[in-house]
Amino acid sequence: MKNAQYFFSYILLIVFSFISIFPFFWLILISLKSGAHIFDTTNFFSNITFQNYINIIDNYKFLKSIMNSFIISILSVIIVLPIGFLGGYYFSRSIKNSTNNNIFLILLSTKIAPPIVFAIPIYILYIEVGLIDTMFGMTFLYVFANLAFTVWIAKNLVDEFSDDIEEASKIDGCNTLQSIFYIIMPSNLNGIFSICLIVFILSWNEFLFASILTRNETSTFTVHLTSYFGSRRIDWSGLSIASVLGSLFPLLLTIFFQKYLIKGLSFGKLN
């Protein structure tokens, strides 16, 4: 009976893995073809060429959009991590206060509303203060968008941390900030990696606000993909190649750091 359960479990895992991987495999296959060969279903592996990848490497707009996405995502992670962890520590240690509990719930509620609700107010605000098409404006927006998530994860990490160890560090002369940055955060590296990875991916993949608030200078990778859609035709080769290369970096990060991601999101309960 137990062997049968293992067998069906493996079958389900194989089926779900195939369903998850096949679209990306198909995307790679399309990127290796050009022109009418993309729609040739008689032989999927015929007319393979790498010339498309060589061509896109020389595409300045694509490279610039990738660099913009990388810079904005990295800056968002660097800024939101310490702010979010400090917020998580505060709410973890003072959540018994009803006022702080309400503030925490209000902060989390910002993730409940659909992003389109904030699109028009933020657009008008950015026009007034001159933040349209700026790195600072996009970084600030992504910090705000990911702050509630970071605070929530950080609060759970701090909840799992022993109060006795923190008190011992303060007896040894550490103040609250030193305890957070020298004791609590290093003890929760799995959670830190999880926060960094998820915030990076969320910032990298964001499209709605990037399409509204960026122009030529800070256009991100996701916005650049729309340039392959014409009024009369769609450049399927260029679109698939850009999609493959654009998803490669976050995909590799997830593969290399999946152990930390799983442990971090389980708040250290998995070994």
> What is residue 159's predicted lDDT score, i.e. its pLDDT?
84
> What is residue 271's predicted lDDT score, i.e. its pLDDT?
41
| Residue 70 vs residue 216, higher pLDDT | 70
| Residue 164 vs residue 95, higher pLDDT | 164
Q: What is the DSSP string of 229-243?
A: B-SS-B-HHHHHHHH
| pLDDT, mean of residues 219-223 | 92
Of the pLDDT bands very low, low, confident and very high (cuts 50, 70, 90), residue 268 is: very low
> What is residue 270's predicted lDDT score, i.e. its pLDDT?
41
What is the rounded average pLDDT for all residues in the chain?
84
Judged against a pLDDT cut of 70, whether residue 31 lies above it is answered with yes
| pLDDT, mean of residues 220-232 | 88
Task: Determine the Cα–Cα distance for residues 97 and 102; give it in Å rounded to an integer.
Answer: 9
Judged against a pLDDT cut of 70, whether residue 1 lies above it is answered with no
The least confident of 93-102, 171-180, 235-244 is: 93-102
> What is residue 249's predicted lDDT score, i.e. its pLDDT?
85
DSSP lists the bridge partners of residue 241 as none
Q: The domain 59-265 is classified under which CATH number: 1.10.3720.10, 3.30.43.10, 2.30.30.100, 3.10.129.10?
A: 1.10.3720.10
| pLDDT, mean of residues 218-238 | 86
Judged against a pLDDT cut of 70, whether residue 260 lies above it is answered with yes
Q: How many residues does the chain have?
A: 271
| Domain map (residue ranges) of the chain | 59-265
| pLDDT, mean of residues 82-99 | 82
CB atoms near residue 44 (< 10 Å): 12
Taking CB atoms within 8 Å and a gap of at least 24, the contacts of 139-145 are 139/72, 139/75, 139/76, 139/79, 141/209, 141/213, 142/72, 142/73, 142/76, 142/80, 142/199, 142/202, 142/203, 142/206, 143/76, 143/79, 143/80, 143/83, 145/115, 145/202, 145/206, 145/209
Judged against a pLDDT cut of 70, whether residue 56 lies above it is answered with yes
| pLDDT, mean of residues 93-104 | 71
Most confident of 41-50, 67-76, 247-256: 67-76
| pLDDT, mean of residues 42-67 | 80
Q: What is the pTM of this model?
A: 0.86
Of the pLDDT bands very low, low, confident and very high (cuts 50, 70, 90), residue 9 is: confident
> What is residue 229's predicted lDDT score, i.e. its pLDDT?
87
| pLDDT, mean of residues 149-169 | 85
